[in-house]
Structure 1
Amino acid sequence: MEFNLLEKLAVLKAIDEVIQMDQEIKLGEVKFMDRLSEAMDFDPALVLEARRAEPAEAIAVLKAMPEPQKQTLARLMNEAANADGEVDEREIQFIYRVFNAAGIDLKI
């Protein structure tokens, strides 16, 4: 799945927020981000830029993405939440807030 630079920043912001939700970055999460950087073809320094992005701007970009990319984001956020082997309730709540704000309907 191809994302343009703005979409990559918005996706990375959302995923990074999930990973940082429990205020502890674990090895599984680091490995997940490494795999993601290869799959999405971005420099890991882009994560730092994504952290500086305004949440409202990131949500606007996510909301404007085509449905297939939204579904990819949903899958990636789920994988990020599970990357450390445990899913925190705050992670789940955050993911659903992002889904709701970005207009993501889960395809089950």
Structure 2
Amino acid sequence: MTFTREEKLALVKMVDYVILADSKVDPAEMKLLTELMHRFHFDAFFIGQSRNLNKEEAYKILGGMPLHKKQILAQLLDQVAIADGYVHEKEIIKIIETLNHMGIERSTLNSSNL
């Protein structure tokens, strides 16, 4: 699956958003992020760039993606939330917030884990 640079920035922004939701970064979350860096071809500098992206702009970019890309992002966010073995309520809230801003409902995402 190929994402545009803007889509990738927004995707990384939301992954980071969920990782930081519970105010702690677990080693398992960092391992997953490293795997995503290889899968989506980005580096630590790109993460910094994604953090500079305005959240509302990220939502706008994500909302414009086709459904199959949104499904991939939803799956990634689920993976991030469960990476440390515990799904924090704040992570669920951030995921639902992101899905809502993308204009989709969880029922649309039949492969989600949460």
Report the TM-score range of the alignment, normalised by the length of the smaller protein: over 0.9
Measure how far apart 1:44 and its partner are: 2.2
Tell me what 1:67 maps to. Answer: 67
State percent identity of aligned pairs: 36
Tell me what 1:90 maps to. Answer: 90
Q: Is the contact between residue 71 and residue 104 of structure 1 (CA under 8 Å) also seen in structure 2?
A: no
**Number of equivalenced pairs:** 108
Secondary structure, aligned partner of 2:44: coil
User: Structure 2, unaligned stretches of length 5 or more?
Assistant: none
- The residue identity in structure 1 corresponding to 2:101 is A
User: Structure 1, unaligned stretches of length 5 or more?
Assistant: none
Tell me what 2:35 maps to. Answer: 35
The two structures have a TM-score, normalised by structure 1, of 0.96
What is the root-mean-square deviation of aligned Cα atoms in Å? 0.9
- The residue identity in structure 1 corresponding to 2:64 is A
Tell me what 2:49 maps to. Answer: 49
